[in-house]
Amino acid sequence: VLCVLRGRSRRDGEPPLIKGWIPFIGKALEFGRDAHKFLEEHKKKFGDIFTVQIAGKYMTFIMDPLMYPSIIKHGRQLDFNEFSNTVAPFTFGYPPVISRKFPGMREKIKRSFHLLQGDSLTPLTESMMSNLMLLFRQDHLEERPGDDGGWRSGSMYEFCYTVMFEATFLTMYGRPLSAIRHSRMGVLREDFIKFDIMFPLLIAQIPLWLLGQTKAIREKLINYFLPHRMSCWSNMSQFIKRRSEVFNQYDSLTDSHKAAHHFAILWASVANTAPATFWAMYYLASHPEALQVVRQEIHDVLGLDGVEFTSDRDVTLSKEQLDKLLYLESAISESLRLSSASMNIRVAQENFDLRLDSERSVAVRKGDIIALYPQSMHLDPDIYEEPQTFQFDRYMQDGRERTDFYKNNQKLKHYLMPFGSGSSMCPGRFFAINEIKQFLCLLLLYFDVQVEDGQTRATLDSNRAGLGILQPTTDVRFRYRLRTV
Ligand code: HEM
């Protein structure tokens, strides 16, 4: 009993072990408050590798980004499925995927991810373009006489969320057979946001019955995707169609479980993209000189040659044109660097020595978690000069994308990791960048955009540190006006 209460003690060859004074909960509370600060302080004290007891788990953090490649390329001994097979099913309400009940399902799901990439990216991107255009045209582009000199005000986060939520939904799942938009999108979005607020608690595997209305809200969201509902939608993406086909091959998967899988994809495709879009818009709007360069680049790629763009024109940008928007891409990368805080997790499958570089290795025990926390790299002044400053062209060099970044004079293989790493890397990353680009193109072509005066700078809410793109602590007021008024 004493042994359980005391927890484990450090063995030879293992990294320094840091335990909290409360057994089990360990350092979870401190970590949860501000993960970046917590890790920086521990790095100063214990060096680049240390093990922390967090919420009953032993997590070994590898803080030196020069060591990242050795973790990322590790195959057999470090597994990344734990999250997708236990935490995600618990959070979204479907049974574990890797199970005797569903032979081959995980592999089939993995294979469906290519429908978000490569050649499939073209129809997906085209569909997103027309959906964004539809929403801009119906909701924002009509002139409203009587406004203050043509200026309208809005809340920036809400603006980005509303547009990206509906456009992504339409692109992924399609529209009703009899209409061009779903009628209750506002209610769906509000329920989704209520669920998303509880997301960090669900990921920590707090039982649903402790989380008030969350169970009912999740059920409502899942029910939206029941097969009899989805069968009345048209223009569905190949990706969602393929997933439906896979689920239909398993009789033991109930309709509600199928729907829960679809709901999980809605979450994956919106919950990070919406705040990422916000940060890119916010940083551009608050750096007019950067906004000017990016807008000019869009005009150049569209071949407008100084001709003013008018609001009666529709914007279409092909995938090739989007690929040419390098300053815009750099600005998006820079905002991802400043706002992303995802943790990369691997679980040790056996006791073994984990080699970190040519000199060092550490002993790891079966079941231990190895964690990379790229935010520490993103904000490292040795890699990024003035890391807290938004420099829109940080990822540009001589008119091309910059890919060489250094630590201790050594070139880094990984220097920007908002999408995870290795085999568990986000399969939607190319689509995500394209849709953020499309949103910003429409915004900058049609509108003048300004952050309203008298507000403090937007800050990151560290509430979901480790889980993806951080949200702003409070929304930002902005004004926008048709450029041709
Ligand atoms: C997984 C980030 C947008 C679909 C992930 C992971 C991260 C991430 C960090 C986990 C990787 C890991 O475990 O190491 C982001 C960010 C996005 C974004 C920052 C936007 C800025 C999207 C979009 C889609 C998508 C638009 C789909 C259309 C997925 C899926 C997974 C995933 C399906 C799970 C992959 C698996 O089970 O192996 N994403 N993502 N993501 N993402 Fe994204």
Average pLDDT, the chain: 91
- How many whole angstroms from 332 Cα to the centroid of ligand 1? 16
Q: How far is residue 234's CA from residue 437's CA, in Å, rounded to a whole number?
A: 26
- β partners of residue 381: none
pLDDT of res. 279: 98
Lowest mean pLDDT among 141-155, 164-178, 194-208, 345-359: 141-155
What is the average per-residue pLDDT within 374-394? Answer: 97
Lowest mean pLDDT among 125-129, 196-200, 233-237, 279-283: 196-200
Given a cut of 90, whether residue 195 has pLDDT beyond it is yes
Cβ within 8 Å of residue 421, ≥6 positions away = 68, 72, 344, 372, 414
Given a cut of 60, whether residue 6 has pLDDT beyond it is no
What is the average per-residue pLDDT within 384-392? Answer: 98
pLDDT above 90: percentage of residues in the chain = 72
155 lines ligand 1 (CB under 6 A): no
What is the average per-residue pLDDT within 96-120? Answer: 95
Given a cut of 50, whether residue 2 has pLDDT beyond it is no
Three-class DSSP category at 451 = strand
pLDDT of res. 452: 96
102 lines ligand 1 (CB under 6 A): no
Give φ, ψ of 398 to 5 degrees: 50, 45
Residues in the chain: 485
Q: How far is residue 451's CA from residue 276's CA, in Å, rounded to a whole number?
A: 17
Three-class DSSP category at 26 = strand
470 lines ligand 1 (CB under 6 A): no
Which amino acid, residue 418? P
427 lines ligand 1 (CB under 6 A): yes
pLDDT of res. 306: 66
What is the average per-residue pLDDT within 28-38? Answer: 80
Q: How far is CA 250 from the centre of its chain?
A: 30
Give φ, ψ of 136 to 5 degrees: -60, -45
Given a cut of 90, whether residue 68 has pLDDT beyond it is yes
pLDDT band for position 54 (50/70/90)?
Answer: confident
Given a cut of 50, whether residue 485 has pLDDT beyond it is no
pLDDT band for position 25 (50/70/90)?
Answer: low
Which ligand 1 atom is at minimum distance from the Cα of 172? 28
Given a cut of 90, whether residue 53 has pLDDT beyond it is no
Q: How far is residue 432's CA from residue 426's CA, in Å, rounded to a whole number?
A: 10
335 lines ligand 1 (CB under 6 A): no
ipTM: 0.99
pLDDT of res. 462: 87
pLDDT of res. 422: 86
State the DSSP H helix or E strand holding residue 338, giving kind and residue range, or none if neither.
helix 326-339
pLDDT of res. 67: 95
Cβ within 8 Å of residue 278, ≥6 positions away = 156, 157, 160, 161, 471, 472
pLDDT of res. 142: 80
What is the average per-residue pLDDT within 168-181? Answer: 97
Q: How far is residue 290's CA from residue 275's CA, in Å, rounded to a whole number?
A: 20
116 lines ligand 1 (CB under 6 A): yes
Closest residue by CA, ligand 1 atom 20: 273
Token pair 């929403």 in the structure block, residue: 135
- How many whole angstroms from 92 Cα to the centroid of ligand 1? 15
CA distances from 99 to 95, 190, 411 (A): 9, 34, 42
**Beta strands at 400-401 and 396-397: parallel, antiparallel or unpaired:** antiparallel
Which amino acid, residue 442? L
424 lines ligand 1 (CB under 6 A): yes
**Residue from 199, 178, 180, 168 nearest 91 by CA:** 199
The alpha carbon torsion through 315, 320, 324, 326 (nearest 10 deg) reads 90
pLDDT in tens, 255-308: 999 999 999 999 999 999 999 999 999 999 999 999 999 999 999 999 876 667
Q: What is the pTM of this model?
A: 0.95
The alpha carbon torsion through 359, 363, 369, 372 (nearest 10 deg) reads -10
Given a cut of 80, whether residue 311 has pLDDT beyond it is yes
pLDDT of res. 253: 96
Closest residue by CA, ligand 1 atom 6: 426
Given a cut of 60, whether residue 166 has pLDDT beyond it is yes
pLDDT of res. 221: 98
- β partners of residue 369: 59, 347
Lowest mean pLDDT among 25-39, 113-127, 152-166, 222-236: 25-39
State the DSSP H helix or E strand holding residue 447, giving kind and residue range, or none if neither.
strand 447-451
Q: How far is residue 415's CA from residue 482's CA, in Å, rounded to a whole number?
A: 38
**Residue from 38, 39, 60 nearest 49 by CA:** 60
What is the b/e burial string over 307-332, where b = at least 16 CB atoms within 10 angstroms of the residue's CB?
eebebeeebebeeeebeebbbbbbbb
Given a cut of 50, whether residue 4 has pLDDT beyond it is no
pLDDT band for position 229 (50/70/90)?
Answer: very high
The beta strands (E) that lie in 19-108 are given as 49-54, 57-62, 78-79
First and final CA of the chain: distance in angstroms? 75
Of 419, 423, 437, 438, the residue with max ligand 1 atoms within 8 A of its CB, to mutate for a pocket test, comes to: 419
pLDDT above 70: percentage of residues in the chain = 94
- What DSSP character marks residue 86? I
pLDDT of res. 183: 94
- How many whole angstroms from 270 Cα to the centroid of ligand 1? 10
Q: How many CA atoms lie within 13 A of 408 on its CB side?
A: 5
What is the average per-residue pLDDT within 439-458? Answer: 96
Both tokens of 327, joined, read 């300053």
- How many whole angstroms from 375 Cα to the centroid of ligand 1? 17
